[in-house]
Structure 1
Amino acid sequence: MKRVAGPKVADTFEIRHLRYFVVLAEEQNFARAAERLGIAQPGLSQQIMKLESIVKTPLLDRTQRLMKLTLAGEVFLEEARKTLNAAESALVAVTKAGRGETGRISIGYVASVAYAGVLTRSIASFRKAHPDVELQLVEMEMGEQLSRISEGRLDFGFIRPPTPLPPNVVTRVILQERLVVALPDDDALAGTGAVDLADLADREFITPRQAPDVGFRRNTTTACEEAGISPVIRPIGRDFTTIASMVAVGLGIALVPKSLDCLRLPGVRYRNIRGIHTTSELAIAHRKSELSAAVRAFITHNRSAAFPADAWD
């Protein structure tokens, strides 16, 4: 069976051939077209003849005194313009992607990040600078965020350290918040100003469902140790909204980030704590090596963002 040979590389046209032909058709004059293209007129003539040789049909009607396209030339002109526009669009798209201006970023966060305002400020300012990047947000427990980031199933996370990290994940603290104590509003100390943790030594503390060395469970024990007491931790809450509700019905008290006072549940009072310097840290988490330009841009944005430190007045 006889094999039909395909076109030789030398017989295929290039983008520049299309551009030469379009400019010539627009100028309808070899001299003006050559000047616009920045090439010599004989060189332009040779390239147009080469193009005609490649497509195997005349594109210019050379029987006329004035330059005129053949019917095939008119068809080719329309298609050449489409191809050049598509090539330009592709170039713009790949350039924007390489600069991190397009793409998709999956972002996990713990709910308390939203209370602190960090999430909304971060997303709003990034979207303003990168309007074509798609952001996917999902509230997620801290440990699951870190696992998914490590496995490549999540790009970025907002978490509350301390917590163990997978080997390929790094964090950076972007905000430190002071701690306040959440009390039932009928508690004897709820109507006072700042309180001493030592006065709460006989109370039961409610913390999130975490390991002893993780997140707010660790913050609670550290703050109490700083105040010279050993906390009794019994009730466990799924999240801070649940914890605040548990405080309201008298199941215990809780140390929470200052920003949680925006969660005005009935039956709960938030009071400042005297004499401790333990804080709640808010951090970003991401892979050590990141291939996506969009994700790298989001990492840079959050590493350099100005999140004001929590006031201590």
Structure 2
Amino acid sequence: MEFRQLEYFIAVVETGSISAASRRVHIAQPALTRQMRLLEESVGTQLLDRHARGIHLTVAGKALYSEATRLLDERSDIKARLLALGSGQTGKLSLGVTVTHLWLPEVAKLMGGYRERYPKVALDVFPLLSGPQLDRLQQGSLDVGILYLDDDMPSGIDAQLLQHDHLVLAVPASSSWAESPPASLAALCDAEFVWGYRSISPVYFDRVVAHFARLNFEPLVVQYGADNLTILSMVAAGLGLAIVPAASRCHPMSGIVFIELEELSSCDMPLWLAWRSGEEPPVLKNFIDLATTLFI
């Protein structure tokens, strides 16, 4: 029994005759008659009572008609679902985004645009620092991440450069620095800073420290925060100054003034889109293509 024979059988039942069915399915009457006999032989019982005025269904024929229409509908549904999966129209995608960039306009457009184009894809978003993102990508528990990476890509990771960021100085709005910004980092040698732990984002931390070493600047750190959002909240509370990515200005947080310094602007902080090498399912490929369009 083949799906093609079932389609022919349904056509015979619904048109009421072999001749009408042959016109509907576009095959000759003798060929269609032969296919109906082969179908009956394959199921081992008579399906059609043939007479001069047409055909009548036997009890077995009525049962097969009901089952055949269900099977063909299920086949169409399976084909449609497989096609949707194969083109990335359905599925699931887990995305990591650094806390700093959750409010970046391009990231918001990327997430919103992806959802609009592929509404049946479940997009799970995880606010994670670069270090944890990289760990999860390598472990396979994250599909794609927006994060800081070194120029030398980690083993097993492919990446696409999204944009170049730089550093800015964040000061409490109530501080004297907000009214009279420093001209250089040298003016901040005695200022108290809020800083982050290296363990939570080694790539970001090392890049910043290396830049300060070239400038012969070492901040006086008196407080630590778990991520840039926490650090900024501590700055807003007056606990110290902070040096953060310029993208931090996109976050809607009051009580902070951001100051551009040439020495900080010269520190390139490239933002990357990263995923596991050799793994590019359709849902991920569509996301990468859209990200490239929006950022580049």
Instruction: Return the TM-score normalized by structure 1.
Output: 0.83
Aligned residue for 2:217?
Answer: 230
Alignment of 1:21-100 (within 5 A): 21-63=9-51, 65-100=53-88
Mapped to 2, the partners of 1:300 and 1:87 lie a distance apart of 31
Q: Which secondary structure state, in structure 1, belongs to the residue aligned with residue 278 of structure 2?
A: coil
Tell me which amino acid in the other structure corresponds to 2:273. Answer: I
Q: Check whether the contact 2:235–2:241 (CA below 8 A) recurs between aligned residues.
A: yes
- State the Cα deviation string for residues 257-286 of structure 1 (Å, max 9, x = none): 223224454542211223542233221110
Distance 1:50 1:35, change over 3 A: same
Secondary structure of the structure 2 residue equivalent to 1:67: strand
Q: How much has 1:239 moved relative to structure 2?
A: 0.9
CA distance in 1, matches of 2:180, 2:203: 28
1:203: which partner in 2?
191
Larger displacement relative to structure 2 (112-121 or 47-56)? 112-121
Match of 1:50, as an amino acid?
L
Secondary structure of residue in 1 paired with 2:24: helix
Confirm or deny that 1:306 pairs with 2:290. Answer: no
Distance across 2 between alignment mates of 1:22 and 1:273: 77
Give the residue type in structure 1 aligned to 2:217.
S
Aligned to 1:305, the other structure's residue is in SS state helix
How far apart are 1:215 and its partner, in Å? 4.2
Which deviations, in whole Å up to 9, do the C-alpha atoms of 1:49-77 show, x marking residues without a partner?
11111222221111452222223222211
What is the aligned counterpart of 1:279 among 263, 268, 274?
A: 268
Q: Does 1:101 align with 2:89?
A: yes
1:3 matched residue in structure 2 = none
Aligned 1:126-141 pairs, distance under 5 A:
126-141=114-129
**Structure 1 residues 83 and 41: CA distance shift in structure 2, 3 A:** same
In structure 2, do the counterparts of structure 1 residues 115 and 169 end up closer, same or farther at CA, with 3 Å as the change threshold? same
C-alpha contact 2:172 2:236 (8 A) present in aligned 1: yes
Are the structure 2 counterparts of residues 87 and 264 from structure 1 closer, same or farther at C-alpha, using a change threshold of 3 Å? closer
Report the TM-score when normalising by structure 2. 0.88
- For 2:218, give the aligned amino acid: P
**Structure 2 equivalent of residue 256 of structure 1:** 244
Q: Which runs of 5+ in 1 are unaligned?
A: 1-12, 309-313
User: Unaligned regions of 5+ residues in structure 2, if any?
Assistant: none
Give secondary structure in 1 for the equivalent of 2:49. Answer: coil
- Greater mean alpha carbon deviation, residues 203-212 or residues 62-71: 203-212
Q: Write out per-residue CA displacement over residues 134-157 of structure 1, whole angstroms, 9 at most, x where no aligned residue.
A: 111222232222122112121111
- For the aligned residue pairs, the C-alpha RMSD in angstroms reads 2.6
Q: Distance in 1 between matches of 2:20 and 2:82?
A: 33
Q: Structure 1 251/220 Cα, relative in aligned 2: closer, same or farther at 3 Å?
A: farther
Moved more, 266-275 or 18-27: 266-275
Query: 2:142: which partner in 1?
Result: 154
Q: Is the CA contact (8 Å cut-off) linking 1:220 and 1:255 kept in structure 2?
A: no
- Amino acid corresponding to residue 278 of structure 1 in structure 2: C
Q: Distance in 2 between matches of 1:241 and 1:60?
A: 74
C-alpha distance in 2 between matches for 1:144 and 1:289 = 21
Residue 193 of structure 1: how far off its partner (Å): 6.2
Q: Over residues 104-151 of structure 1, what are the superposed CA-to-partner deviations in whole Å (9 max), with x where a residue is unaligned?
A: 112222211202133322111111111111111222232222122112
